[in-house]
Structure 1
Amino acid sequence: MIALPSSEREFWRHILTEMAYDVDGTRKGASLGRHKSIFHRTLHRHVREIRAREQLRIPRYWTWWHLLAIPFTWAMFPLSVFAYFQIFWAMHVLIYLHDSGRLVDFLGGSLTLPQFLTLVFPVFGAIPVALMAGNTLLWIIPWARQAQAEKKGPCFAQRHAELMKIARILVPLTLAVGTIGALFPLA
């Protein structure tokens, strides 16, 4: 196998040199068709070698257990949005006691600012919560945890830490904006 050049400049120099000279070092003819075919063969060979090298370097950590986590995560997403809305509606009813039976009035009609802040904006805060729930499901099942450890990919703690970075921003922002939406009286 040919050693790959280390930089892009060396890569193109290698390709152009291989196009212009035969194996024994003599200059090739000026046939454009031959140069094109040599160029394409050389380029495809280099691409195959680079892909092979990348596949060896980047471990594949996807397991079949992730197929179990996908529907669970999708199910947790609307449940998280609903939980946020329940929190905001409870805050609203605590402030405006006379609105306790007017949930249908709040949800009906055109979209108002309080509806947007308490119904639509929680979607952003529900994303990391649902992903963390799916990640936790994979950690709870011992066989899934073992399969993940064998793949030598990012572990549960690394994934959870990445999701926590996102959740530290989105969840408090969602709670703050939803609380502002709950402070508005119904029209």
Structure 2
Amino acid sequence: MTTLTVTAENIQFAKQQIEAFEKIEAGSWRYTNVEAWRGIVCELLASKWLKGNFKVEQSAKGLDDSGIVDDCDMIINAKKVEIKSATKNHFRYLIPKIHDVRDKPKDIYIGVKYNETVQPNQVHILGYIQRSEILKFPVKQNKGAPYYEVPLSQLTPITPKTFD
């Protein structure tokens, strides 16, 4: 597991992205009572770390307020990569939406967790899972779209060969 420190600037940038996103049609209904900015912080810090350790062809940029849905968060060694975040320290699952996993497949999903229980806050890069493995997990639905419930404990540690 890799631990990264969250700065006030990271939080401010993520909250600004949420504000801009909420102004477009796609963002008008999302993020009610959710601290979605934590997911953006996770994505950006994980992307920066991955860029420092692997051959990244496309870096993550956070939320896109253009209204165009992106194909993936990153491209590493020609593999489509999606960064999925558990946005509170006590969360134990990644919950990728079924529609996204089935209809917009990525090769590798990186699991990241936001730890708000320490100061400064931290982001933990926990590991990865391949799409074919996600499809084996149970389908759940709480509010909104159905999702796969992927235990964080099932993630594989990231190694130099992860994206080979």
Work out whether the TM-score is over 0.5: no
**Larger Rg, first or second structure (1 or 2):** 1
Which structure: greater strand fraction?
2
Which structure: greater helix fraction?
1
